[in-house]
Structure 1
């Protein structure tokens, strides 16, 4: 479970609702504090048990490059409601939502797309399905197929325990001890509890199953002509760094390894992460410009 660096919103960042044909999605929108929006917008998608707040520490910095940046809660996450229907939370279904949100954020034009962890598997669906033309695609702490290692075990525990024992058990036996052991401040622990309990239980269980069992779609992604970045922490405990590096090589993509970070670079190393994204996005936009 990622822990936002701070919960108060920095200047230039506001809560908004994104209206789409698929319904409304809760979001945080960052815009430049000075100057005008002259670059393509960006859309940030969180991981399992995460939310838009996981990107708070980088939103303002990203927007200073004169672009609009939007972070969302996916359907069934935190402040975006969802139905008690598992079919709404498969990667293809959530990818369809991302397509619709991207169209709204970009007013029909291209956007830079970032998917963190499980959000990487979801956004990959949107890129591969070809319904939306993206300016670039970043896989942040995500992998080629289902998650492995310690986070795989946590995901399987959620699938096993949630239907029988409920969210209270999952919180008190797993997430609360992890937060307390990490020295997380009380106010952030309170937020993490509120966020977990706001998730639709069907969404949480289905997403946990999805993050475990996704097939490797790297070869399909290589067929899509979109600038791609693979970014992860040097100590990632989700998909191992070597697995993500191998995926980047197969994609022929850029790669950024964030020093000192684990599974949430936007939280653990926000300035490094924001700088890497801004450089990559600017480079992708330069490629898009026609020669004079």
Structure 2
């Protein structure tokens, strides 16, 4: 077996990419961290001596972990593909369209999240965003390469069809400032003004949905804050950092659709929050 320190060093060199894969797959910073850690546990139990493409091998491991996590959510039952279903060749876009789709997929996936099965999501994210061959993805989801290609094709059509509008940086900052001010003031109606009616809040311990529940939780929590909450970029996403004694103790990363806050990913664990890339605004 390879030296454990050497294996850990190789894994850490891939951690950023693996986290990006998991975050695209799961839509949650906290869950992505959990997925990467679980992948490391699995790597530690595996024999890597015959692995030729270490980065690709790690990507498939993270894919399997994410697939397990998505299926555990139990939000939708997967429907089996019919083996004779043809794959339209013209469905795959050219390089420029691929780049545009990859840039916008974060928001688009959140819009169509409930319309994608775990296998569709995995096939689309791994192939279209991270260039993993369908042959390798097929091994992860337990389907043939042709069926896997069709899964990605279905997901791609749904993503393209999502009618999500882009919220610009200035408007995102306005929404975060308004959210922060309303939470500080206990302004329940002010929070409802910036939250999507079906907003989702995800933390390490669970999920809260709906603007009423989220606004109630935000006003309740704000009364007990002892640190300083400031606007920030959290892993590149506009959000909020809670500082205590100058250190990041908690982060909120927002996703915006139609000029409303649709998803809030909260890292509540101080150690996890400290590992995130946070830039104060």
TM-score range, shorter chain: under 0.3
Structure label with greater radius of gyration: 2
Query: What TM-score does the superposition give when structure 1 sets the normalisation length?
Result: 0.25
Q: Report which structure shows greater RCO (CA 8 Å, sep ≥6).
A: 1
Query: What TM-score does the superposition give when structure 2 sets the normalisation length?
Result: 0.26
